[in-house]
Amino acid sequence: MVQERTGSPHGQGGPAAKVAVVTGSESGIGRATALALARDGFDIGVTWFADEADAQRTAEEVRGHGRSAQVRHLDLTRLPGPESVIDEFADALGGLDVLVNAAGDNRAAPFTEMAFEDFRHVMQVDLEGPFLLSQRAARRMIGQGRGGRIINITSVHEHTPLPSSAAYNTAKHGLGGLTKSMALELAEHGVTVNAVAPGLIATRMSGLEGADVHTVHRAALPVARPGDPREIASLVAWLASDAAAYATGQSYPVDGGFLIANPQFTTSDLGAGEGTP
């Protein structure tokens, strides 16, 4: 489990805050997760890819909860190299207790028409990036000797394929397998590794960012609406807590019943492009 630290990274004495790095925290699930962890007492490393101003807004909201925040650019299409951001955050914030791999992307096309460049792009962002970031984080956590948490944001499409998204399906299935492999090897060091698999969530990727989810009807889903990013973040926050010390190697769907209904092959009610988080 994550052990309480003593001593401030700024040399002021007393218990030091725990530190979480949340990739893709400029918006959506990443932002909601960063704020949930800040409310739970974590200092936060915020990363952005497209919009630094959005990331700075996330950081300001973190600080509004009385926590420290650092902001860094992270481009997972330029691997290897960007994974060094883990050590930058740990050095700036005084350690590393939690990594949440929330950054992701999809480029949809029928399998026979998908360009190799698009396939590689999705694999880099959604699988190779989390591999390198998690490897760097695990080394840091092991070296600190107090355990830690790695939480991968996959998708319901870790478990069932999304049509015309071979790259996304492959990457998310792969990230699910990587989660289990890491969990098996890192448990002896007190580092747990889990996945959270969102269904249709009101984010930029789904085209529903900022929507009041209780006013959007999706009849194909048992819970007939999209999810709010905060509904994903609440589970991530639990997995990052001491209460989850015995949970590892699992994937936790949060999908309004999508996987039990699996409506994507029988209805268009989900809407174009809205099967992913």
The pLDDT of residue 8 is 43
Mind listing the pLDDT tens digit for each residue in 142-196? 999 999 999 999 999 999 999 999 999 999 999 999 999 999 999 999 999 999 9
CB–CB of 35/67 below 8 Å? no
What's the mean pLDDT in 33-59?
97
The pLDDT of residue 277 is 52
Q: Is the pLDDT of residue 32 over 90?
A: yes
Helices and strands, number each (H, E), in the chain:
8, 7
By annotation, the residues acting in catalysis are 168
273 φ, ψ (degrees, to nearest 5): 75, 10
What's the mean pLDDT in 27-34?
96
Q: Which residues contact 88 (CB under 8 A, 6 or more apart)?
A: 70, 72
Mind listing the pLDDT tens digit for each residue in 98-133? 999 999 999 999 999 999 999 999 999 999 999 999
HSE (side-chain half, CA atoms, 13 Å) at 255: 29
Lowest mean pLDDT among 13-22, 109-118, 132-141, 223-232: 13-22
How high is the mean pLDDT of the chain?
90
Count Cβ atoms below 10 Å from residue 127 Cβ, excluding itself.
24
Mind listing the pLDDT tens digit for each residue in 82-93? 999 999 999 999
The pLDDT of residue 226 is 86
Q: Is the pLDDT of residue 11 over 50?
A: no
pLDDT band at 2 (very low <50, low <70, confident <90, very high): low
Containing H/E element for 92? helix 85-93
pLDDT band at 80 (very low <50, low <70, confident <90, very high): very high
The pLDDT of residue 203 is 78
Top-confidence residue, 223 or 145: 145
